[in-house]
Amino acid sequence: MFMFTSLQRLHHVVRSRDHTQKPTKGTKIKESCRFCDVSVSPGFDIVHEDDIFVAFRDRNPSSVHHIQLITKTHIDSVQSLSTADVDLVKSMERIGHNILDSLDVPPHQRKLGFHIPPFNSVQHLHLHLQGLPYKSLVRRMKYPVVQGGKGSVKGFSWFVNVSQLIELLERRRCVRVMPC
């Protein structure tokens, strides 16, 4: 009986130590998030992985190629980013293009961008990497890239492409559905 409880306690200590040793670079892993721990979850078709990012094929693709590139640590959305994250987003852009290169997607058939809350389906920052065309008009409508008018980087849209996002962060502007 004594042995049993000691082992249980030991098991508990080891488990909690494991937990605190998870890589928490800036932001924590969220237990309830289905994009945290993608690299160890079964069923994800992973196309790229390094220390900071993981990319996997979307299970319900909107276009010929549709991949999600995410950070391993939990970041809620584009609205959690600041000027300090410009390099992070530029790395995502570079890795994204490398993946699309490997799939032979020509430059004019690429779309790389993020949904803006509350239009993000998963609350964990994910860059959509798409090789066009879209499978339907309805799918195309989910990812509109709208250029800004005078004084704005982006027009009215629930989607921001990666270069618009970099420019907004560099200008210290917040990312919104309304023109910004």
Read off the DSSP letter of residue 55. Answer: E
Among 66, 72, 115, 176, binds Zn ion (CB under 5 A): 115
33 binds Zn ion (CB under 5 A): yes
Nearer to Zn ion, 31 or 104 (CB): 31
* Region of 32-40, 57-65, 87-95, 133-141 interacting with Zn ion (CB under 5 A): 32-40
Nearer to Zn ion, 54 or 166 (CB): 54
Residue 63 to residue 111: CA distance in whole angstroms: 10
Lookup: tokens for 148: 């800004």
List C-alpha distances in Å: 24 to 21, 29, 32, 109: 8, 7, 16, 36
5 burial via Cβ count (<10 Å: 0-12, 13-18, 19+):
exposed
Considering 66, 74, 124, 128, which one is annotated as catalytic?
128
* Region of 27-35, 78-86, 101-109, 143-151 interacting with Zn ion (CB under 5 A): 27-35
Nearer to Zn ion, 124 or 166 (CB): 124
154 and 166 in contact (C-beta within 8 Å)? no
Among 65, 66, 72, 74, binds Zn ion (CB under 5 A): 74
66 binds Zn ion (CB under 5 A): no
Annotation marks residue 11 as catalytic: no
Nearer to Zn ion, 74 or 111 (CB): 74
List C-alpha distances in Å: 114 to 23, 93, 163, 171: 24, 11, 11, 18
Binding to Zn ion, residues 141-170 (CB under 5 A): none
Among 91, 86, 83, which Cα is nearest to 173's? 83
- Residues in touch with Zn ion (CB under 5 A): 30, 33, 35-36, 74, 115, 124
